[in-house]
Amino acid sequence: MRALHDVPAPAKLNLFLHVLGRRADGLHLLQSAFMLIDWYDTLHFEHRADGHLSREDLTVALPDDDLVLRAARALQAATGTPAGAHIGVHKRIPAQAGMGGGSSDAATTLLALNRLWQLGLTLGELERIGLALGADVPFFLRGRNAWVEGVGERITPLDLPFARFAVVKPAHGLDTGRIFGDPLLKRNSDPAIISGFAANPYRFGTNDLQPVAERLCPGVIQALQWLASQDLRGRMTGSGSAVFVPLPGELRLRQAPAEWQVRECSNMEAHPLAGWAPSDDSSVGG
């Protein structure tokens, strides 16, 4: 096997996001429900026998040390493989949107190179590598919609009803660190339970980061107002500037400002790469 082309990396939405507290090391304790949607980046992998790693940006320019290359290097370091790869990245998921695009790309890289390099690592082994790259990477590796707790390491699979969503990314993004570092961020939400969420999954809870985000990025308010003008009550996803709302019936959205990214998406039961690594009983968070 010398190449893998058109390998998908899907986005996710946080259906709610509650901040329960903060650990002594500064990391926040969260509760959320992560849902996969059919908004994808696409990656291409070609084997390099010289052990080098290279990346080609097929759409937007990415940072020199992005999560794709970091994931590939981490896999090399963990296994000692002499293999290398050239990776093409067709980026569609917007950056700083709260949709997990970078973490999804990292997870897809780990799964694809594990297969391309014929390493045979289990899902649990890949998750331990992925967790060091970012808290959302294990979720994308597991490949199922999930109830997520702790700092992102406690993952419980969820079954969610099929639905369509409007996802709106305004012109400007948001830096995660600015939101979580804000002194006005609410950090004392009460713990929720899965049964309460399951009764109304697409209207449950709030995003505790949203008030801070609205203050830091007026585009968040503008996107929510644009949805409200169509009788749609949206909310922010994750810690970026994108907002979303379930779409009723066959409603079609009005024309949005040209500098925004707006898509109608559907949720998915499973990641397209589910099963690419053998499962075991040692996955992160059990």
Q: Which residues are catalytic, by number?
A: 12, 136
Contacts of 106 (CB under 8 A, 6+ apart): 67, 68, 70, 71, 130, 133, 134, 137, 140
The SS3 of residue 166 is strand
Helix, strand, or coil (residue 151): coil
214: nearest Cα among 204, 222, 226, 206: 222
- Give Cα separations from 124 to 36, 73, 75, 120, 139 (angstroms): 20, 18, 13, 12, 12
Using CA atoms, how far apart are residues 104 and 138, in angstroms rounded to an integer? 9
Helices 101-116 and 67-79, packing angle to 10 deg: 40
**Neighbouring C-beta atoms of residue 258, cutoff 10 Å:** 6
Nearest-angstrom CA–CA distance, 93 and 39: 7
User: Nearest-CA neighbor of 126 among 286, 235, 278?
Assistant: 278
